[in-house]
Amino acid sequence: MNTSPMTTPKPTLLLVGYGMVGHRFLEALADAGAADRYRVVVLAEEPRPAYDRVALTSYFSGRSPEDLLLAEEGFTDKHGYELHLSSPAVAVDRAAKTVTTAAGHTIGYDTLVLATGSYPFVPPVDGKDAEGCFVYRTIEDLQAIERYAAGARVGAVVGGGLLGLEAAGALRGLGLETHVVEFAPRLMPVQVDEGGGEALRRTIEEMGVVVHTGVGTKAVEVSQDGTAVGMQFTDGSRLDTELVVFSAGVRPRDQLARDCGLTVGERGGIAVDEFCLTSDPNVFAIGECAMAVDGRVYGLVAPGYEMAQTVARQLAAQSAQPFTGADLSTKLKLLGVDVASFGDAFATTPGALDVVYSDSRAGVYKKLVVTSEGALLGGILVGDAEAYASLRPLAGTGKPLPVPAESLVLPAGLAAPVSLGGSALPDDAVVCNCHNVTKGQVRAAVTEHSCTTVPEVKTCTKAGSGCGSCLKLLGSIVSEELEASGVEVDKGLCPCFAYTRAELYEIVRVKRIATHRELLAKHGRVGQDAEGCEVCKPTVGSIIASLAPELEASGHILDGEQAALQDTNDHFLANLQKNGSYSVVPRIPGGEITPDKLIVIGEVARDFGLYTKITGGQRIDLFGASVDQLPQIWSRLVAAGFESGHAYGKSLRTVKSCVGSTWCRYGVQDSVGMAILLELRYRGLRSPHKLKSAVSGCARECAEARGKDFGVIATSNGWNLYVGGNGGATPRHADLLAQDLDDEQLIRLIDRFLMFYIRTADRLERTSTWLERIEGGLDHVRDVVVHDSLGIAADLEELMSHHVDDYQDEWAATLADPERLARFVSFVNAPGVPDPSIRFTPERDQIKPDLVLLATEEELLAALDPDNDPDNARVAARATASILEDAR
């Protein structure tokens, strides 16, 4: 018998509020496989889908609102979610089970989930609504601050907590004289104690932010025309300021719930039980708008994520973890200062003892709270929060620390360096706080899901994809686990060397080894007369080339043993194409070229019958040259003043530019001039992978500099330097490394950045992947490159200046040397005879490789038969005719 299909329509699930927690809820619902059990409707007040509010401030360092979005494209469509942007809910009718939007639409629901977040609290002082007063919560808030700051000189932030300091950093970045006003006697009163607050204050004041603690704001002074002009404080003092940001805490957005009679907490927050159910069994509340069973409203994203998970699993009819409260541990970087606080940071546990290290000059403060038995309860770290990731999971476990607490707070150098790897942690210790992932789950990812790298574990468990503070710990757990399960973690470059590229670089540099053969014999892991391989030869070749001046080796890559190490592209100083022919790219610095030179390129291409195409890097690529033709082509190009474009090398390709202030009405700096300067400085620099760059003349970014390994964007005060960008298969926007640099500062930083990359990157690792892989990421690179934290900046600059002094055009040098030239023949036993397999057929008035010819050897031999000469070989014949003529 047939059963009739279910005819009941799907129940409606209505989500009000599409912020971070709302989005997580939608993800969790889909992950639990329940997205299609409901008609899911989402009402969002903001004009865009959920974005990363935690990273909001990165808007000021160049992340666009689109970069900040949380969902990948097509997320809502994929799961059939109906999303209504700019549609705030204004009323809930619980009896009728409907919600009304501001536009007057009414939507029925079976289940309602409230995820309305919080709003910034603005103290009720006079003048708080004046023009020039802002809050700091949404992208629109930041855009408004950005616009207003352009015409202001001084800015003040009310509130010296987490958000206040972030806002202060942003104002300072916008070029304002910045003040922070905190009512409590110290900064970040919720997270740190007096000592920590003091260390923080010193460092922040050194950065030029003026800190006022222990004073309240009495009023904002307003001018005749309604704009803010100053502030008055409770101690009678005042301050001239045109811009005020209120950051005095947040309050849960529970108005909707209050109005429909749901129970709310005394101090706000929609009251929920441990399964996030409100006083109405059809209504849930999650995230910052909810008051959990422990009576607290959590102003952090991680507890909100847990709540989202709890509700999603219930709606998917799966077992759900109750949410009873959360760990308030945090680690942040505020204005470049590490601040972490975890567990019982204020030593409120009876009998708790603390171990403190404080160096207020260096701005470092570390406190660990322990029991009398030596078990860790919590701690506060300011200025150096390295140990946070490994200490936080141990807090509250009751187990004594494996080493004395003192050794964990002393700075490296004062005591034997101690760091706790992953091995000290129990399996149930939460390693990633953002996504609540335990060490056990990370281990399982390795043992059961055969992940072998941190990025794999990240995708598999989500660990490390939040704030990223646990990445290092994650790395050590993964390697420990791999080692334990007998998987050899081979970091070696190739079967011949057990070292990474970066290690080989150091060996070559320190031991001054100038040949691959010697390096292989002394430091290889294979027998005496091993050959090496196609991986280590070019890699070592490139290391030696980039250190050539230091090694007093020849800088020319076709000299001595170097010639045997190069990939065919480098060997013939041209790019091998699919039919065995080569392409030629002359350097056109900055993409600027005279008409005469352009004509020479055209003539050369015409005379040699080359296919001609404009590249994405503002140059011209000439295709279809045979080995024999290369020297002839280049002798004409060199005579006209061209030099090698290094399109064949793992080296600097181009520095693209827009037309800049010389012609463009928007331009603020001469981008072409700078691009040419940079291209000429770094041309020929051998690196782990190719390097691309661009310079834009203003923030409109026509040169797409943020898609480059190093990109420069003009500002009215100089240049902003971005690093680690990439186009291609895995696009990545470059990160801001430093801003408002003058020419000299810009070049100095690029010198250091490039040399640091060359020194530490893996083989074929672009700057984008390097930046993501290297320990400490962008912050570490900035420390080294900008703040010289390793004390190597002078070395790096010197290496670059040697490169610049040592540069010679590879093609000019090759043409001048008969021995090097002798290699440019198709056949050693028949110099001057062109390679018959390289033939072309016409397409759109140019040539393309004749691949039919390559299909079988017989066809080639047949084609060679004079009686058989096919029509389409004529184009090639014309191209090769000129060689034969020259050969005669």
Partner 1 sequence: MTTVAVQTRIELLAGRGWTAVCDLDLLLPGRGVAVLLPDGRQAAVFRDARDRIHATANRDPFTGAYVLSRGLLGSTADGRVYVASPLLKHRFDLETGECLDDESVRIPVYAVRLAEV
Ligand X SMILES: Cc1cc2nc3c(=O)[nH]c(=O)nc-3n(C[C@H](O)[C@H](O)[C@H](O)COP(=O)(O)OP(=O)(O)OC[C@H]3O[C@@H](n4cnc5c(N)ncnc54)[C@H](O)[C@@H]3O)c2cc1C
Percent composition of the chain: helix, strand, coil (DSSP 3-state, to 5) = 35, 20, 45
Q: Which is nearer to ligand X, 228 or 302 (CB)?
A: 302
Q: Which two tokens stand for residue 802?
A: 């040697």
Site for ligand SF4 contains 664 (CB under 6 A): yes
**Rounded least distance, CB 89 to ligand X, Å:** 4
Under a CB-based contact definition with an 8 Å cutoff, are residues 696 and 744 in contact? no
Residue 701 to residue 660: CA distance in whole angstroms:
10
Site for partner 1 in 488-517 (CB under 8 A): 495, 517
Per CB under 8 A, the list member of 412, 864, 884, 887 interacting with partner 1 is: 864
Instruction: Give the contact letters, 538-577, x = binds to partner 1 (CB under 8 A), - = no.
Output: x----------------------x-xxx-xxx-xx---x-
Site for partner 1 in 811-850 (CB under 8 A): 822, 826-830, 833, 835-838
Give the interface segment with ligand SF4, choosing from 158-166, 180-188, 381-389, 662-670 (CB under 6 A). Answer: 662-670
Q: Which is nearer to ligand SF4, 25 or 710 (CB)?
A: 710
Q: Side-chain half-sphere of 656: how many Cα atoms within 13 Å?
A: 24
Site for ligand X contains 624 (CB under 6 A): no
Judged by beta carbon distances under 5 to 8 A according to partner kind, the member of partner 1, ligand X, ligand SF4, none in contact with residue 660 is: ligand SF4
Residue 653 to residue 433: CA distance in whole angstroms:
42
**Rounded least distance, CB 84 to ligand X, Å:** 9
Give me the residues paired with residue 16 across strands. Answer: 43, 114
Instruction: Calculate the CA 592 to chain-centre distance.
Output: 31
**Rounded least distance, CB 192 to ligand X, Å:** 15
Long-range CB contacts (< 8 A, 24+ apart) of 564-567?
Answer: 564/537, 565/516, 565/537, 565/538, 565/540, 565/541, 566/537, 566/538, 566/541, 567/534, 567/538
Give the interface segment with ligand X, choosing from 29-37, 191-199, 296-304, 658-666 (CB under 6 A). Answer: 296-304
Q: Which two tokens stand for residue 555?
A: 């800088």
Per CB under 6 A, the list member of 337, 391, 658, 737 interacting with ligand SF4 is: 658
Q: Which of 826, 828, 846 is nearest to 836 (CA)?
A: 826
Site for ligand X contains 14 (CB under 6 A): no
**Rounded least distance, CB 563 to partner 1, Å:** 6
Backbone angles phi, psi at 332, to 5 degrees: -140, 165
Report which residue type is found at 745. Q
Per CB under 8 A, the list member of 91, 861, 881, 884 interacting with partner 1 is: 861
Site for ligand X contains 252 (CB under 6 A): no
Tell me 396's DSSP state. Answer: T
Judged by beta carbon distances under 5 to 8 A according to partner kind, the member of ligand SF4, ligand X, partner 1, none in contact with residue 678 is: none
Give the interface segment with ligand X, choosing from 10-18, 63-71, 342-350, 795-803 (CB under 6 A). Answer: 10-18
Per CB under 6 A, the list member of 659, 804, 854, 860 interacting with ligand SF4 is: 659
Site for ligand X contains 57 (CB under 6 A): yes
**Rounded least distance, CB 675 to ligand SF4, Å:** 11
Q: Which is nearer to ligand SF4, 42 or 698 (CB)?
A: 698
Residue 366 to residue 704: CA distance in whole angstroms:
43
Residue listed under structure tokens 């290297």:
774
Cα-Cα-Cα-Cα dihedral sign, residues 556, 561, 566, 570: positive
Instruction: Calculate the CA 797 to chain-centre distance.
Output: 25
Under a CB-based contact definition with an 8 Å cutoff, are residues 603 and 597 in contact? no
**Rounded least distance, CB 663 to ligand SF4, Å:** 8
Site for ligand X contains 299 (CB under 6 A): yes
Q: Which is nearer to ligand X, 12 or 882 (CB)?
A: 12
Query: Cα separations (Å) of 658 from 12, 104, 152, 700?
Result: 52, 49, 30, 10
In total, the chain counts a number of residues equal to 888
Residue listed under structure tokens 């309305």:
116
Q: Which is nearer to ligand SF4, 671 or 880 (CB)?
A: 671
Site for ligand X in 148-207 (CB under 6 A): 163, 166
Under a CB-based contact definition with an 8 Å cutoff, are residues 496 and 520 in contact? yes
**Rounded least distance, CB 489 to partner 1, Å:** 18
Residue 690 to residue 678: CA distance in whole angstroms:
15
Number of residues that bind ligand SF4 (CB under 6 A): 13
Beta strands in 371-453 (DSSP E): 376-382, 430-432, 437-438
Cβ-count burial 349-358 (b if 16+ within 10 Å, e if not): eeeeebbbbb
Under a CB-based contact definition with an 8 Å cutoff, are residues 40 and 13 in contact? yes
Q: Which is nearer to partner 1, 418 or 860 (CB)?
A: 860
Where is 816: in which H helix or E strand?
none
Give me the residues paired with residue 622 across strands. Answer: 584, 612
Per CB under 6 A, the list member of 28, 44, 145, 520 interacting with ligand X is: 44
Where is 870: in which H helix or E strand?
none
**Rounded least distance, CB 303 to ligand X, Å:** 8
3-state secondary structure 64-88: CHHHHECCCCCHHHHHCCEEECCCC
Site for partner 1 contains 523 (CB under 8 A): no
Site for ligand SF4 contains 670 (CB under 6 A): no
Per CB under 6 A, the list member of 242, 481, 679, 701 interacting with ligand SF4 is: 701
Per CB under 6 A, the list member of 107, 302, 355, 573 interacting with ligand X is: 302
Site for ligand X contains 116 (CB under 6 A): yes
Number of residues that bind partner 1 (CB under 8 A): 45
Q: Which two tokens stand for residue 875?
A: 């184009």
For the chain, the C-alpha Rg in angstroms (whole number) is 32
Q: Which is nearer to ligand SF4, 340 or 675 (CB)?
A: 675
Site for ligand X contains 331 (CB under 6 A): no
**Rounded least distance, CB 858 to partner 1, Å:** 11
**Rounded least distance, CB 683 to ligand SF4, Å:** 23
Long-range CB contacts (< 8 A, 24+ apart) of 864-872?
Answer: 864/836, 872/839, 872/840, 872/841, 872/842
Q: Which of 347, 372, 349, 391 is nearest to 192 (CA)?
A: 347
Residue listed under structure tokens 């390129």:
601
Per CB under 6 A, the list member of 136, 323, 572, 623 interacting with ligand X is: 136
Q: Which is nearer to ligand SF4, 671 or 814 (CB)?
A: 671
Q: Which is nearer to ligand SF4, 315 or 713 (CB)?
A: 713
Residue 814 to residue 554: CA distance in whole angstroms:
13
Site for ligand SF4 contains 660 (CB under 6 A): yes
Binding site for partner 1 (CB under 8 A): 495, 517, 526-527, 529-535, 537-538, 561, 563-565, 567-569, 571-572, 576, 578-580, 822, 826-830, 833, 835-838, 851, 854-857, 860-861, 864
Binding site for ligand SF4 (CB under 6 A): 658-660, 664, 666-667, 671, 696-698, 700-702
Binding site for ligand X (CB under 6 A): 16-22, 43-46, 53-54, 56-57, 88-89, 115-118, 136-137, 163, 166, 253, 256, 287-288, 299-302, 304, 332
